[in-house]
A = this chain, B = another copy of it.
Amino acid sequence: MKGFLDLADLGREGVLDLLRLAERLRRSPEPTALAGRVLGLLFFNPSLRTLSSMQVAMTRLGGTSFVITPGTGSWQLESRDGVVMNGAAAEHVREAIPVLASYCDALGVRAFADGRDLARDLAEPAISQIESLCHVPLINLESAVNHPCQALADWRTLDDLGVPRNGKLVLSWVNHPRALPLAVPAAVAHMAALRGMEVVVLRPDGFALPPAIMEKARQAAALAGGRVAETADRDAAISGAHVVYAKEWGLTAPYGDAEADGRARAGLTNWTLRESWFRRAQPDCRLMHCLPVRRNLAVADEVLDGPRSVVIQQAHNRLTVQVAVLHRLLAGTDPQD
């Protein structure tokens, strides 16, 4: 494994293999496997789970890490090619990435979507540019339209819970004060499809996931025996569901228009996920969410505090699976000069 950028790069067998490694390392920890190895962590955007769990994952394997946050203690970074750098950014990623990579054995990067141009965001310009500049294994800590660490942790959580491989997962849009990126919905739809599940994307009009994201999930489903559908009909969607995965994202038609997005969500105040949503679901239907979650706006207290919620377990599995990702990338290789 040369990097960890997209679950799709591994294929279904590759994911299952990584999950087996995660379980093996949980049962039989290897506290010196990455002794002397260093993980660089570059955060262009805020983080709680990823920031802490990646550091702890290295610790679990005997390695260390450092954190760089452009604009907070470190220079703001430019990414546009050919630009005359007379603005706020003091450094270009064309220097910053090779330099940071030269100090570490693997580099993790979080770089959210711009959220203005859909075609551009779908092309993953930031993480692709960084990959081209990085000579050590690169780990995607959430990019414009992907979040493979989250997806891998969620797969493990579904396994932990005994959710059938071909069970029904509803990825439901929920409310939020403003447009959020498509990274988690895209990653979760693909992951569940690759697991072989029946995936239903439930969202209001205007919030359909872009065709490229749906198509990627459908291709995964085709390989794994799953199905992918979308609808705005809540009751039909959740009927018989084993899991409702709640997630906030922005208006997609049109994409990147904050004003239109605000108008659209003003009429969607009934998209706070409540216990009543589950009446046609499987009795033990679970609530999943990647966190952070805005209580009583995205998901009601009654659901988050009730027995359906597995959000803490999902977050803990971030650590469990990332230990495996780091082990697979770095164990047994030669350290950096």
Select one of B46, B48, B53 contacting A96, CB under 8 A.
Answer: B48
Q: Chain A: how many interface residues by the 8 Å CB criterion?
A: 65
Establish whether residues A72 and B74, one from each chain, have CB atoms under 8 Å apart when the complex forms.
no
Give the nearest-CB partner of A312 in chain B: B98
Copies of the polypeptide in the assembly:
3
Select one of B38, B47, B53, B74 contacting A74, CB under 8 A.
Answer: B47
Q: CB of A51 within 8 A of chain B? A: yes
Complex interface bits, A286-307 against B, C-beta within 8 A gives 1, otherwise 0: 0000011111111001001100
* Nearest CB of B to A9, in Å: 26
Known contacts: A312-B98, A312-B102. The answer to whether A78 contacts B295 by CB under 8 A is yes
21 contacts between A and B (CB under 8 A): A31-B35, A46-B75, A47-B73, A48-B99, A49-B99, A51-B73, A52-B100, A52-B104, A53-B103, A55-B64, A56-B66, A69-B73, A75-B292, A85-B294, A85-B297, A90-B294, A91-B291, A95-B292, A95-B312, A102-B315, A103-B319
Establish whether residues B104 and A297, one from each chain, have CB atoms under 8 Å apart when the complex forms.
no
CB-CB < 8 A to A78: which residues of B? 295
A285–B82 Cα distance when bound, in Å, is: 23
Establish whether residues B337 and A26, one from each chain, have CB atoms under 8 Å apart when the complex forms.
yes
Select one of B35, B46, B69, B91 contacting A292, CB under 8 A.
Answer: B91
